[in-house]
Chains A and B, each alone.
Chain A
Amino acid sequence: MRDYQTYTLDDFLQDDSFRDWVQGKECINQSFWYSFPDNYPDKVTLFRQAERIIRAIGHGNQNISEKEIRSEVDSFLEQISEPKPEVNYESPRNFGGLINWIPWLAAASIVLYFLFYKPSATPSAVETRQASEAVAASNLVRTCNDTDKLLRILLSDSSVVVLSPNSTLRYPSCFMDTSRTVYLSGEATFAVEKGPVPFIVYAGDVVTKVLGTRFVVRAFANDVSTTVQVQTGTVSVFRKEQHSNAAVTNEQAGLIITANQAAIFEKSLSRLTKTLVTDPVKLSHHIDFEAKRYDEIPLYKILNDIEKAYGITIIYNRERFEKCKITATLSDENMYQKLDMLCKSVGARYEIVDGQILIQGKGC
């Protein structure tokens, strides 16, 4: 929270926005800093001192051009794209490619990521558990993809599963009327048909129940946590133990996560928490941020636009921020960058709390 009244010299010097302004860089809140001496007369001395120090430090004179950086990065990418000489593990390489084919997915779809899988001689505890469940559940088909291509599986309810290399799906050859449950170890993309019963995916310690359309489950044995990320729709995530109890009591003891939210299950702490996905995807095409210019627009209007665009709730004290007017251009930076910009310009900061954005500050 920015309390400019208590700003020390160090606070000024550490303030990115202030520094950018002094150095004449493009920044949203130029007017704020120009009028700062008028608004905070007690701070004028420090303000001027900080300004001087920043000018005395000056510009970097050892810069490198964007073009050169790109070429260095490209050359690095080229080098690591060659297959590695060691083969003591197998892991699919182009996860970046995975992210690119999300658009491939049809309307209702689930993407499961599995980023590290070590084929071991003895099955892991997870697999053993799953295997015994599979035996308990009647006649599960076990399909293992040990090729290096994607494998398409059609389920009995017309849902489609695209299984990645080194992954295994266990599923009933015919879904009964009462349940649609599958077990995954590895990575898969699902296109789930809407049905009378929820579609449930067991992956590691996490159970994901599909109430809506697209989500991502990251469940790998060697990781410290399992993540479920939702792109669109709604998903309910439970810890495995909870889920079996819930079945009996019919209580929703898990987390419900919606678009662009994520649930993280920390294995060691056995704790399930809600947050936001790392790369929030725009849901609505009505709000186009391609160089959208806001001219003296109330902050709450811009926040509404962002809420609609990303499907995430933003919480803030409306009274405090009511008078805030913003002049800014938002374009293709990601959601977090947009929030950074807006928060800086009103001296606020944001936090992700329970899958929502919480903005705190003194307001205007």
Chain B
Amino acid sequence: MAKRITSDEARSLWREYQCGDMFALVSLMQAYYSDLFRWGMSLHAEKELIKDCIQDVFLKLWRIQQSVAVVDNVKSYLLVTLKTRILQELSKKQVTHFTSLSEEYDFTFEFSDDLRLIDEEHEIFQIRKLNHALNRLPGRQKELIYLRFYQSLNFEQIAEVMCISRQSVYNLFQKSLNSLRKFYDITT
């Protein structure tokens, strides 16, 4: 698995890329490729299309290198850019019902439970129940859980990716925990 880079490292690389260092951009691509791929696939599960979109995103970044601004959250910037690109591609192909970037797309990711190392039947039951609940979350809530625990984004970064305010993210997060609360007693 690729080594994680810190957001400070990403910011440095971004600055270097801004100054014309193409190897910095390549390093960013290498570091975030896996995350971008999984994110893309959760929006639309067509491997070749997603790979092409990722290439497009970075090629465009290289083309606009001179005019690009400082970015604080490189990862969420890349995720948003990729999402935009994918939705553009899809609307071109008229494959889906996506009309806008924010509200209407279907977050199709399926959480798949991980029952390795669990022997106790009761535990297995609880986890399955929870998995079921997670997968039944409304799209937006599911996406938030995904971004928080798969992509390790903080609330600010999630706000950028989901095009909503930080407060909305927080509220949505509480909502999702509440949804799960129905399945067992969650103390926060």
A residues in contact (CB < 8 Å) with B: 8-10, 13-14, 16, 19, 23-24, 45-46, 49, 52-64, 66, 69-70, 72-73, 75-77, 79-81, 84, 89, 91-96, 99, 115-116, 220, 223-224, 278, 333, 336-337, 340
Q: A77-B26, A93-B22 are in contact. List 15 more A-B contacts (CB 8 A).
A: A9-B186, A46-B187, A49-B187, A52-B126, A54-B149, A57-B145, A62-B38, A70-B30, A72-B33, A73-B33, A77-B22, A93-B20, A95-B20, A115-B19, A115-B21
Q: For residue B94, which residues in chain A have a CB less than 8 angstroms away from its CB?
A: none
Q: For residue B16, which residues in chain A have a CB less than 8 angstroms away from its CB?
A: 95, 115, 278
Would A52 and B20 count as touching, CB distance under 8 A? no
Q: For residue A56, which residues in chain B have a CB less than 8 angstroms away from its CB?
A: 111, 113-114, 127-128, 130-131, 133-134
With A and B bound together, what is the CA distance between A91 and B130 in angstroms?
A: 55
With A and B bound together, what is the CA distance between A79 and B1 in angstroms?
A: 25
Asked if B95 is an interface residue, CB under 8 A from chain A, the answer is no
Asked if B166 is an interface residue, CB under 8 A from chain A, the answer is no
With A and B bound together, what is the CA distance between A60 and B38 in angstroms?
A: 8
Asked if B68 is an interface residue, CB under 8 A from chain A, the answer is no
Would A62 and B19 count as touching, CB distance under 8 A? no
Asked if B59 is an interface residue, CB under 8 A from chain A, the answer is yes
Would A60 and B150 count as touching, CB distance under 8 A? yes
Please list 6 pairs of residues, one from A and one from B, whose beta carbons are closer than 8 Å in the complex, sorted by A's number.
A14-B148, A59-B112, A66-B2, A69-B30, A70-B30, A278-B9
With CB as the reference atom, state the residue of chain B lying closest to A75: B55
Would A89 and B66 count as touching, CB distance under 8 A? yes
A62-B42 contact in complex given A23-B114, A55-B114, A57-B134, C-beta closer than 8 Å: yes
With A and B bound together, what is the CA distance between A347 and B29 in angstroms?
A: 30
* Minimum Cβ distance to chain A for residue B127 (Å): 5
Asked if B116 is an interface residue, CB under 8 A from chain A, the answer is yes
With CB as the reference atom, state the residue of chain A lying closest to B59: A79
Would B149 and A116 count as touching, CB distance under 8 A? no
Q: For residue B149, which residues in chain A have a CB less than 8 angstroms away from its CB?
A: 13-14, 19, 54, 57
Q: For residue A79, which residues in chain B have a CB less than 8 angstroms away from its CB?
A: 55, 59
Would A76 and B188 count as touching, CB distance under 8 A? no
Would B33 and A64 count as touching, CB distance under 8 A? yes
Number of cross-chain contacts by CB at 8 Å:
148
With CB as the reference atom, state the residue of chain B lying closest to A23: B114
Q: Which of B98-129 contact A (CB under 8 A)?
A: 110-118, 123, 126-128
* Minimum Cβ distance to chain B for residue A336 (Å): 6
Q: How many residues of B contact A (CB 8 A)?
A: 64
Would B9 and A336 count as touching, CB distance under 8 A? yes
Would A76 and B26 count as touching, CB distance under 8 A? yes
Would A55 and B115 count as touching, CB distance under 8 A? yes
With CB as the reference atom, state the residue of chain A lying closest to B61: A80
A57-B111 contact in complex given A8-B188, A62-B37, C-beta closer than 8 Å: yes
* Minimum Cβ distance to chain B for residue A344 (Å): 11
* Minimum Cβ distance to chain B for residue A279 (Å): 9
Cβ contact of A73, chosen from B19, B30, B118, B173, cutoff 8 A: B30
With CB as the reference atom, state the residue of chain B lying closest to A77: B26
Would A58 and B23 count as touching, CB distance under 8 A? no
Q: For residue A116, which residues in chain B have a CB less than 8 angstroms away from its CB?
A: 19-20
With CB as the reference atom, state the residue of chain B lying closest to A22: B114
* Minimum Cβ distance to chain A for residue B9 (Å): 6
With CB as the reference atom, state the residue of chain B lying closest to A339: B6
Asked if B85 is an interface residue, CB under 8 A from chain A, the answer is no
Would B45 and A55 count as touching, CB distance under 8 A? no
Would A24 and B134 count as touching, CB distance under 8 A? no
Would B21 and A14 count as touching, CB distance under 8 A? no
Most buried by A among B154, B177, B186: B186
* Minimum Cβ distance to chain B for residue A67 (Å): 12
With CB as the reference atom, state the residue of chain A lying closest to B54: A72
With A and B bound together, what is the CA distance between A350 and B114 in angstroms?
A: 33
With A and B bound together, what is the CA distance between A223 and B18 in angstroms?
A: 9
With A and B bound together, what is the CA distance between A56 and B142 in angstroms?
A: 13
With A and B bound together, what is the CA distance between A224 and B18 in angstroms?
A: 11
Would A24 and B117 count as touching, CB distance under 8 A? yes
Would B62 and A115 count as touching, CB distance under 8 A? no
With A and B bound together, what is the CA distance between A23 and B25 in angstroms?
A: 31
Q: For residue A337, which residues in chain B have a CB less than 8 angstroms away from its CB?
A: 3
Asked if B91 is an interface residue, CB under 8 A from chain A, the answer is no
Q: For residue A49, which residues in chain B have a CB less than 8 angstroms away from its CB?
A: 184, 186-187
With A and B bound together, what is the CA distance between A330 and B30 in angstroms?
A: 22
Q: For residue A340, which residues in chain B have a CB less than 8 angstroms away from its CB?
A: 6
Q: Which of B63-118 contact A (CB under 8 A)?
A: 63, 66, 70, 110-118
A63-B34 contact in complex given A52-B130, A57-B145, A72-B54, C-beta closer than 8 Å: yes
* Minimum Cβ distance to chain A for residue B116 (Å): 7
Cβ contact of A9, chosen from B6, B112, B187, cutoff 8 A: B187
Asked if B162 is an interface residue, CB under 8 A from chain A, the answer is no
With CB as the reference atom, state the residue of chain B lying closest to A59: B114
Most buried by B among A24, A49, A62, A278: A62
